Amino acid sequence: MKKITTLLMFSSLLIFGMCKHETTTIINGGNGLTDTTKIVEEPKNDSVCFNTQILPLITASCAQVGCHDANSRVEGLVLNSYTGIKRMGTNTLVTYITKKTGKVMPPLPQPRMDTASINLIKRWIAEGAKERNCNPTSCDTLNVKYTSHIAPIMNTYCKGCHNSNNVGGGVNLDNYADVKTSTLTGKMICTITANGCAIMPKGGPALSTCNVRKIKIWAAANCPQ
């Protein structure tokens, strides 16, 4: 009897722990671009992911040409990898991105990192600054809009090099109108799919399949705001 109770408790724990919710959504984004999305919600683990949340932020703000990219290595720092960031030290990182005066990073007139990004980096450090790599388990391509889907991708992966103070390649990606223009000319998708244009994000890891898909669906729907 005791054995059975233990077994029951154990298996219900297992079932509870592995509970998944799956839905399949078919989206027709126009222009014949049909997309099938499977949303799989894994049991929650809210720890910060290094590869999808931290590295792209730091690369876009710090690993620019002439700064801390693999070729320029200003002050010997290359900030496009976990090793490079840890070598510099997370204390140094926080000091420079939060400093109000003197030598701040990214240097002026570059925009400072926004509060949400700084808080995310601080949370990552508080959790031990681990190289926790996540594979996105869900890709939300339902109702893709600029504000909810596209702006967060631009802010994390592109804005550091494409803003009004630092217009890489003459392209600004910090507002709806300019992102829409780059997308409708085909430049955006050409760069993120390495399709003959300059490959973006420059010097950083490529966008995930999910993010590329969101941008393609958004483009096919004529870039809703």
Residue 138: how many other CB atoms lie within 10 Å: 15
22, β-bridge pairs: 40
162 binds ligand HEC (CB under 6 A): yes
Element (H, E) at 171: none
CB closer to ligand HEC out of 90 and 208: 208
The two three-digit tokens of residue 49, written as one number: 């992911």
Amino acid at 103: K
The backbone torsions φ and ψ at residue 144, rounded to the nearest 5 degrees and listed phi first, read: -70, 120
Note whether 205 binds ligand HEC by CB under 6 A: no
Which residue in the set 132, 180, 202, 214 belongs to the binding site for ligand HEC (CB under 6 A)?
202
- Per CB under 6 A, contacts with ligand HEC among 181-200 are 182, 187-188, 191-192, 197-198, 200
Tell me if residue 24 falls in helix, strand or coil.
strand
Is the distance from CB of 95 to CB of 23 less than 8 angstroms?
no
For the bound state, the minimum distance from the C-beta of residue 132 to ligand HEC, rounded and expressed in Å, comes to: 22
Pick the stretch among 38-46, 99-107, 126-134, 169-177 that binds ligand HEC (CB under 6 A): 169-177
SS3 34: strand
Nearest to 219, CA basis, from 171, 177, 173, 185: 185
Q: Which stretch binds ligand HEC (CB under 6 A): 30-38, 43-51, 60-68, 111-119?
A: 60-68
What's the min distance (Å) between Cβ of 104 and ligand HEC? Answer: 18
Regarding 168 and contact with ligand HEC (CB under 6 A), the answer is yes
Q: Is 150 in the site for ligand HEC (CB under 6 A)?
A: no
Residue 184 CB: number of other CB atoms within 10 A? 12
Among 78, 121, 161, 220, binds ligand HEC (CB under 6 A): 161
Rounded distance, CA 183 to CA 219, Å? 6
Residue 125 or residue 197: which is nearer to ligand HEC going by CB?
197
The yes or no reply on residue 204 touching ligand HEC (CB under 6 A) is yes
Q: CB under 8 Å to 76, separation ≥6 — which residues?
A: none
169 near ligand HEC, judged by CB under 6 A: yes
Q: Point out which residues bind ligand HEC (CB under 6 A).
A: 60, 63-65, 157-158, 160-162, 168-169, 171, 173, 182, 187-188, 191-192, 197-198, 200-204, 207
